[in-house]
Chain A
Amino acid sequence: MAEAFMAYPELRHPFQETPIHPNGSATVLYQGRTITLSETGGDDNLLIKPEDLGRINGFELKPEGACYADMCIPLNDELLLTREGEQWFDLTAFADLLEQPYVVDREAGVWSFAEIPAKRRNMMVDAMAPEFEVTDRKGNVVRMADLKGKKALIVTWSSW
């Protein structure tokens, strides 16, 4: 048996505890973004301030609903609700409606959302590349939409 390859063994156990967010906050993970929310509500569900929706998943609240590109999800009392005079948006009910999976660590107050399946539908139907957004090593944001007009090879690798 060949000796196991151990790239960068000093990085194997880099565990040094640091706080995830200030006390009383919550954290949402979505598509590589880490969003700290200072105000949230709800017991089982995650209620967010409506103005935070856009910076989490790009949806915008309009009269016709919560909209992203050509998709609009009509709002109802379960999605947009008022509690003690404050308006909230139920992000978990929205995810359930869109069949968007999520995993929550309630102890830490972190909600991790997977991609919204509807955003990927074009790839499965007519082979159109999915949207993605990543930041390159120079700090530039790279989006699928920015590649239009060019051919692209997108290739993954790893050190492990």
Chain B
Amino acid sequence: MPVWQQVYEEINDPNFVIICAAEDVGGEAVAGPIFDAVNPTYIQVVDVDHIISSAFNFVNVPSSAWIDEEGRVVRIDEGTYSKTHAIGEGEQAITFGNDVYTPALKDWVAKGADSEFVQSAEAVTGNIREHSFDQLKADAAFRLGNLFRGHGQKEKAESYWQMARELNPDSVNFIRQNLTLTEEGSAGETFMQLMGDYVSEGREYYRPLDL
């Protein structure tokens, strides 16, 4: 999320990096202007094929991993918001995010392994989603759909994206990315229906924020 620039500047540590990846099939044309609006100095990636989500088995955005100097994951797969956000005003306002994640991140960057927010390897591996053969296959189907989308073959794009969704029903990323092809968009009635089903089936799109 581009708003991480402010946090990056506040931390201002040469041994800390942020890699901010836009999981966006629309590519630079879609994600570029949003990045540019905050003049980021962190590493910006337009991740058309959702390589980062796939590597860490994320199923939704915004999701994140903290990685220490040795390459060890010390937190993973939490709804990653820099602060509490509000959409709308008054009683109609919808709030999301939280105000505890950024202070925890700053504490970790300052204290390293001594930070109370560092999780054990056991806790971290417990939070990493194990992906089945079919869920891995979903990534291959999704990227095949992306290729056809990029070459103007809409029917094939849709069929492989649908295959990806069926192979990995946990992926909110696939649900919403697919809906960008529709007139209704990725946050309309269909999305609400699909997310209602998702939650009622007991799926979780983030691990609990244990801070």
Contacts and interface: CB of A to CB of B under 8 A. Distances in A.
Interface in B1-56: 1-2, 4, 13, 15-24, 26, 28-32, 34-35, 43-49, 51-56
Contacts of B148: 105, 108
A153 B179 CA distance: 28
B210 interface: no
Nearest to A119: B55
Interface in B163-197: 163, 173, 176-177, 179-189
Contacts of A155: 1, 4, 18-21, 62-64, 80
Interface string A104-128: 0100101011110100100111111
B30 A153 contact: no
A31 B18 contact: no
Interface stretch (A67-75, A86-94, A131-139): A131-139
Given A32-B51, A136-B45, A157 B61 contact: yes
Contacts of A142: 19, 43, 45
Interface string A80-98: 0000000000000000000
A137 B52 contact: no
Interface stretch (A17-25, A40-48, A49-57): A17-25
Bin chain A's interface residue count.
35 or more
B124 A127 contact: yes
A38 interface: no
A101 B46 contact: no
Contacts of A129: 65, 67, 71-73
B117 interface: no
Contacts of B144: 29, 103, 105, 110, 112
B205 interface: no
A33 to B, nearest CB: 9
A2 to B, nearest CB: 8
A150 B185 CA distance: 39
B20 A127 contact: no
A124 B105 contact: no
Nearest to B92: A2
Interface residues of B, number: 94
Contacts of B95: none
B151 to A, nearest CB: 5
A128 B121 CA distance: 9
Interface of A: 1, 4-9, 11-20, 27, 29, 31-32, 34, 99-103, 105, 108, 110, 112-115, 117, 120, 123-137, 142, 144-145, 147-160
22 contacts: A8-B26, A12-B181, A13-B154, A16-B152, A19-B151, A29-B140, A114-B139, A123-B128, A128-B73, A136-B44, A137-B28, A144-B67, A151-B16, A151-B66, A153-B4, A153-B17, A154-B65, A155-B4, A155-B80, A156-B47, A156-B52, A160-B187
Given A125-B125, A158-B23, A158-B173, 15 more contacts: A6-B185, A12-B181, A18-B152, A100-B136, A105-B144, A108-B148, A108-B156, A129-B72, A153-B105, A154-B52, A155-B18, A156-B47, A157-B61, A158-B24, A160-B179
Query: 4 closest Cβ contacts across the A-B interface?
Result: A101-B137, A4-B188, A17-B152, A157-B1
